[in-house]
């Protein structure tokens, strides 16, 4: 049966590729409810005729929307509006000219590396949450639970960490936290006495510094170079500053520069930590996203079992930062100190949410979601890298990240701060290097967290970036 014409409202004169304008018009109609889940779309030839464009252009629009999960293609049957659309869909950015006042233009932002909330497996999560609320464990449980977290989730996460990261984490020594932010605070509480210091990467993750300070520690910056944390500089600092009792690192994708620490430096770091008896806090955030090469396993897989290493992870990058779920594992006595401190500030976590996430892990929903998200983010990373090369070639410097949800863009001879101010005025929010520094001069660079933007938005954001270049 032939489908009705779509009567799409396409901004054909808008900058950017035509297939993205078509894709944008289709998503707007889906969001308005004009196109309902399950509706069959016209064939590419018919729609191309209707719109007076080349068939390949419609094909590209359908493919883009299929990759993003808006459409669903069934071989020999056609292309349909997906049945399981995200609940919290956002309007794709309206393509506008850069000279309109910022007030009327949709605001775009390169985040610090947030995932796309539209990809959250919301239906599966809602079903699992409902099951958890109806379960006998929840209905008959009248007392508080274990401060370490719901046992089913500690068991599920333990298997997940072993298979995904090679980390052998005994469920008895796995602590569920409300996001890794809480785990970082507890790590500092357990590892450091008031007045002692935690060495941190600089540039680095300011929210970790805040957590460490709140736990009574001072924070001392150690430079980061093209290979990640400088272990030589760390050794000099430890040798001359006896207050340093711990080191915080993001070896998988250094925050914010995205560099992966190489094997030789990892061994050097482990050897140094062992020699000086300091605690190593490893933040394995966004490890789910590796696009190239073999996965790089965390330091925790190479450390001797009794090394004071606190391994911290988060589901914020896999699901959403709004779903507060982090975890940590450590040898004794660090682990018990962390669990005791957790009970003091929060008694226990959110039991139904923890049970629901355990379901998601065990049923394979989380793994399927990770594979889908990885595919989509890899495509977005590629769009970002090619748009940057096309629009800013010669004026910038970057390495396409092998993983993670952000790209570190070096602005060469211009001030990244000025660039961010100009882009902001044109409707694009950016994070310049000054946001990530402690005492050292900031790198002239921007952290472009791209994953929450769709491909059309990425292209548009890079256009604004190029138009606001301050050189």
**Length of the chain as a residue count:** 471
Q: Does 258 bind ligand PLP (CB under 6 A)?
A: no
Shortest Cβ 316–ligand PLP spacing (Å): 3
Q: In the range 125-144, which residues lie near ligand PLP by CB under 6 A?
A: none
In the bound state with ligand PLP, the residue whose beta carbon lies nearer, of 80 and 248, is 248
Classify 375 as helix, strand or coil: helix
Q: Does 250 bind ligand PLP (CB under 6 A)?
A: yes
Region from 5-13, 14-22, 176-184, 411-419 binding ligand PLP, contact rule CB under 6 A: 176-184
Q: Cα 60 to chain center, whole Å?
A: 27
In the bound state with ligand PLP, the residue whose beta carbon lies nearer, of 205 and 398, is 205
Buried b (16+ CB within 10 A) or exposed e, 30-40: beeeebeeebe
Q: Cα 27 to chain center, whole Å?
A: 24
Region from 156-164, 174-182, 257-265, 369-377 binding ligand PLP, contact rule CB under 6 A: 174-182
Shortest Cβ 157–ligand PLP spacing (Å): 14
In the bound state with ligand PLP, the residue whose beta carbon lies nearer, of 227 and 321, is 321
Angle (deg, nearest 10), helices 122-134 and 365-392: 150
Shortest Cβ 11–ligand PLP spacing (Å): 34
d(CA 430, CA 14): 23
Among 62, 205, 209, 419, binds ligand PLP (CB under 6 A): 205
Is the N-terminal amide bond of 398 cis, ω within 30° of 0? no
In the bound state with ligand PLP, the residue whose beta carbon lies nearer, of 79 and 250, is 250
Q: Does 180 bind ligand PLP (CB under 6 A)?
A: yes
Is the N-terminal amide bond of 197 cis, ω within 30° of 0? no
Buried b (16+ CB within 10 A) or exposed e, 235-267: bebbeeeebbbbbbbbbbbbbbbbbbbeeebbe
- Cβ-proximal residue to ligand PLP, closest one: 179
Q: Does 181 bind ligand PLP (CB under 6 A)?
A: yes
* DSSP bridge partners of 409: 446
Q: In the range 302-331, which residues lie near ligand PLP by CB under 6 A?
A: 314, 316, 321, 326
Q: Which residues contact ligand PLP (rule: CB under 6 A)?
A: 112-113, 179-181, 205, 250, 255, 283, 285, 314, 316, 321, 326
């Amino acid at each position: 049966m032939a489908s009705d014409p779509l009567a799409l409202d396409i901004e054909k004169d808008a900058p950017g590729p035509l297939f993205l304008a078509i894709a944008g018009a289709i998503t707007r109609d889906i969001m308005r409810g004009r196109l309902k889940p399950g509706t069959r779309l016209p064939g590419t030839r018919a729609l191309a005729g209707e719109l007076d464009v080349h068939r390949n252009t419609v094909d590209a629009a359908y493919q883009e929307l299929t990759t993003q999960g808006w459409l669903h293609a069934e071989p020999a049957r056609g292309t349909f509006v997906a049945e399981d659309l995200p609940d919290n869909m956002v309007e794709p950015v309206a393509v506008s000219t850069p000279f309109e006042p910022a007030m009327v233009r949709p605001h775009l932002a390169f985040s610090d590396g947030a995932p796309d909330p539209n990809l959250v497996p919301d239906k599966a999560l809602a079903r699992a949450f409902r099951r958890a609320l109806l379960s006998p464990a929840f209905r008959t449980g009248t007392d508080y639970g274990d401060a370490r977290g719901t046992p089913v989730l500690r068991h599920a996460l333990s298997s997940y960490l072993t298979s995904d990261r090679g980390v052998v984490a005994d469920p008895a020594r796995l602590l569920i936290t409300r996001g890794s932010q809480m785990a970082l605070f507890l790590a500092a509480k357990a590892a450091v006495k008031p007045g002692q210091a935690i060495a941190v990467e600089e540039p680095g993750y300011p929210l970790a510094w805040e957590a460490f300070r709140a736990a009574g520690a001072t924070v001392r910056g150690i430079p980061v170079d093209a290979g990640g944390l400088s272990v030589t500089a760390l050794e000099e600092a430890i040798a001359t500053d006896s207050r340093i009792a711990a080191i915080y690192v993001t070896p998988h994708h250094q925050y914010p520069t995205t560099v992966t620490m190489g094997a030789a430096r990892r061994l050097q770091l482990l050897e140094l930590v062992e020699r000086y008896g300091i605690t190593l806090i490893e933040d394995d955030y966004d490890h789910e996203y590796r696009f190239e090469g073999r996965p790089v396993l965390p330091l925790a897989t190479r450390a001797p079992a009794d090394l004071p290493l606190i391994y911290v992870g988060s589901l914020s990058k896999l699901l959403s930062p709004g779903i507060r779920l982090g975890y940590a594992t450590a040898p004794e006595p660090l682990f018990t100190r962390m669990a005791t401190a957790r009970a003091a500030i929060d008694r226990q976590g959110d039991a139904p949410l923890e049970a629901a996430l355990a379901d998601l892990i065990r049923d394979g929903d989380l793994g399927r979601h990770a594979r889908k998200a990885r595919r989509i983010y890899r495509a977005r990373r590629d769009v970002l890298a090619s748009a940057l090369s096309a629009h800013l070639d010669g004026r910038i410097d970057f390495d396409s990240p092998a993983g993670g949800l952000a790209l570190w863009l070096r602005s060469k001879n211009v001030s990244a701060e000025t660039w961010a101010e100009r882009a902001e005025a044109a409707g694009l929010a950016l994070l310049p290097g000054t946001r990530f520094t402690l005492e050292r001069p900031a790198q002239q660079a921007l952290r472009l967290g791209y994953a929450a933007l769709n491909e059309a938005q990425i292209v548009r954001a890079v256009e604004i970036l190029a138009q606001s270049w301050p050189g």
